[in-house]
Amino acid sequence: MFGKTLLVKLFSSLQRFPETLLCCAATVTVLMFLVHGKPGPDGELEESLGRLAATLALGIPLSLSIKVFFERARFLKIALKILIYTAAAAGLALYYFFLLPDFGFVSVSRYVAISLALYLAFTFIPYFYHRPNYELYVIRLGISFLTTYVFAAILFGGLAAMLATINYLFSAGISEKIYSDIWLIVAGIFAPAFFLADIPAGDREIEPESYPKVISALLSYIVVPLILAYCAILYVYFIKIVVTRQWPEMMVSHLVLWYAIISTLVIFSLHPLRQANRWINAFTAYFPILILPLLGMMFTAMGVRVAAYGITENRYFVLAAGLWITGSMLYLILARRPRTVFLPASLALVAILAVCGPWSSYTVSVLSQSRRFEKMAAEYNLIQEGKIVKPATALPDAVQREISSIILYFDRRHGLDHLQALPEGFETDQMEALFGFPLYPDYEHLDNGDLYFYYLLNKEESFWDLSGFDYFMHISPDSRHYQADDLEVTYSPENHELKIRYQDQEIYAQNVAEVAIKLHRDNAQKSNRRELLAKDELTFLDRRENLKVLYGFTQYGGQENLSSGEVILHYLEFYLFVGLEAEEDQ
């Protein structure tokens, strides 16, 4: 009976959504070929296959949206439907060649936004015009999706366990790539097929009485009280800002934003319960008003950040999301009979506008950072007769960092040719020759104003001369203890303390963070944050009486407060060489 049910579901989804399942199968096929294929010398084939798989995956929500649209617009003729499918296929081809040239930030963020818009369109198209209970439809889709992939994960786990057992007991030599193949087939073909089979037909109505009781109880009596408690915490902080008259930190923007997004999703989900539950009716009626001052606090924090550092894509996305939430709350407050289908429809529109057109995040960010650079260059007389010249005197350290961050922003995301003030063909290694100071590390600003750094050893230079050393060990958070003969080494990743005992006596103690920070300060003036560093730049020799200890860092990272100079390390990994020297060797 169960097998018959599975076959019925497979046939049903294949009959209703053949184009979507074809996109799923094509995506899985390309990914499997990518997993099993031999890497090329330049990586171009792998990147092309990855772009092809991503484009085919984009065809999944696109074909779903077209299909549910056809189910609503049954008056369309066959010829017009074929024309729409042909245009969709041509659009995917154009997307592959022109909008997905690589997997850089711009391409990936645009891909995510368009995918989000298409999946949202798939949900709201069947209910967009005068059709009730859209929220129940979305909840049903969500539950079906989660259930399907829980079953898929269990199925994959069972099959993987069987293969692993066969491989262990019979030495079958099963390749590890088989496991990825199984997961791709289960998650990329069978799971979508079962999920699509549970999607209600276009003319099928969902009754309000079908609202899941478990979801209703969870949202009403657990999630809503938690949201109100979190709101009280934010209001206390808001009052503190008013009293102390100190601008909120950037971190507040993210806290309020995610809180507002979750709250909007909860209000959306609770909308069908308003008439039957007075508690829910009061929450959905008054909470949109309650959250508006918090959104104002978020925009204030964002305004401070934008005024100091200009617009970037990340800040643009935060502002766009904040404006969408504010508009949604105002709509729920002012509309007599709000239709929640407008919430995902407007979000899909915002997602598309944020990555397409002259108002997109990319265009606005490039313009903002260009103006920021030109303003700074004009203030310090760096541009004369339309060309950049070396400053007569050394620029302040903060200005050098700001200029470096702008140049590295363009180098990372758009290309230096988009910063028109720079001479044609400018490269980052020409920084000192053009501006009179070296390029500062490729720091990333954290929300509290600190800067993030990370150093990595060039593996081609990862060989050290072991002559003169008696012991060698690899120290990391997962490997912190070493013992051989009479020597014992212990390292605590919590406080970065390293201790060496020899013949039950402590002969060496050192805070490794102090060593790493010293190397960081030496490298900060001459290295980019993610550039591979040479061995000599990550090596430190510490000599003590009858003892020498050599640190060879493979990677470490942390954050630095520019105002105080304080450095906090988050991760350390290094090789340790210990040499015990006789008296006559000194």
pLDDT, tens digit (0-9, with 9 covering 90-100), for 27-43:
999 999 988 877 655 56
Amino acid found at 492: S
Mean pLDDT for all residues in the chain: 87
pLDDT, residue 404, reads 85
pLDDT, residue 525, reads 55
pLDDT, residue 418, reads 94
- What does the angle CA 438 – CA 440 – CA 444 come to, to the nearest 5 degrees? 165
pLDDT, residue 188, reads 96
Pairing of strands 567-580, 471-475: antiparallel
- CB under 8 Å to 460, separation ≥6 — which residues? none
Question: d(Cα 574, Cα 372) in Å, to the nearest integer?
Answer: 40
Residue 125 near residue 85, CB atoms below 8 Å: no
Q: Which residues pair with 455 in a beta bridge?
A: 556
- CB under 8 Å to 438, separation ≥6 — which residues? 431, 432, 525, 526
Burial class (CB in 10 A: 0-12, 13-18, 19+), 537: middle
Question: d(Cα 509, Cα 490) in Å, to the nearest integer?
Answer: 10
Question: d(Cα 290, Cα 29) in Å, to the nearest integer?
Answer: 50
Candidates 521, 575, 533; CA nearest to 553 is: 575
Element (H, E) at 264: helix 250-270
Higher pLDDT, 430 or 261: 261
End-to-end CA distance of the chain: 84
- CB under 8 Å to 330, separation ≥6 — which residues? 288
Percent of the chain past pLDDT 70, that is, above it, reads 91
| Chain center to CA of 43 | 24
Structure tokens belonging to residue 480: 């912190």
Element (H, E) at 577: strand 567-580
pLDDT digits (tens, 9 = 90+) for 87-99: 999 999 999 999 9
Percent of the chain past pLDDT 90, that is, above it, reads 54
pTM: 0.79
Q: Which residue has the tokens 């499918």?
A: 85
Q: What are phi and psi of 103, to 5 degrees?
A: -110, 40
What does 371-402 look like in DSSP terms, one character per residue? HHHHHHHHHTT-EETTEE---SSPPPHHHHHH
Residue 586: pLDDT band (50, 70, 90) is very low
pLDDT digits (tens, 9 = 90+) for 193-216: 999 998 987 667 787 778 999 999
Candidates 461, 2, 372, 38; CA nearest to 194 is: 2
H helices of 423-481, where?
Answer: 431-435
pLDDT digits (tens, 9 = 90+) for 375-403: 999 999 998 888 898 888 888 877 888 89
Residue 529: pLDDT band (50, 70, 90) is very low
Residue 345 near residue 123, CB atoms below 8 Å: no
Three-class secondary structure assignment of 68-107:
HHHHHCCCCCHHHHHHHHHHHHHHHHHHHHHHCCCCCHHH
252-261, 447-456, 542-551, 565-574: the lowest-pLDDT one: 447-456
Burial class (CB in 10 A: 0-12, 13-18, 19+), 3: exposed
Question: d(Cα 200, Cα 126) in Å, to the nearest integer?
Answer: 10
Higher pLDDT, 560 or 538: 538
pLDDT, residue 446, reads 45
Q: Which residues pair with 579 in a beta bridge?
A: 548
Residue 372: pLDDT band (50, 70, 90) is very high
Q: Where does 426-562 show beta strands of DSSP type E?
A: 444-445, 451-457, 471-475, 481-484, 487-492, 497-502, 505-511, 532-533, 539-544, 547-560
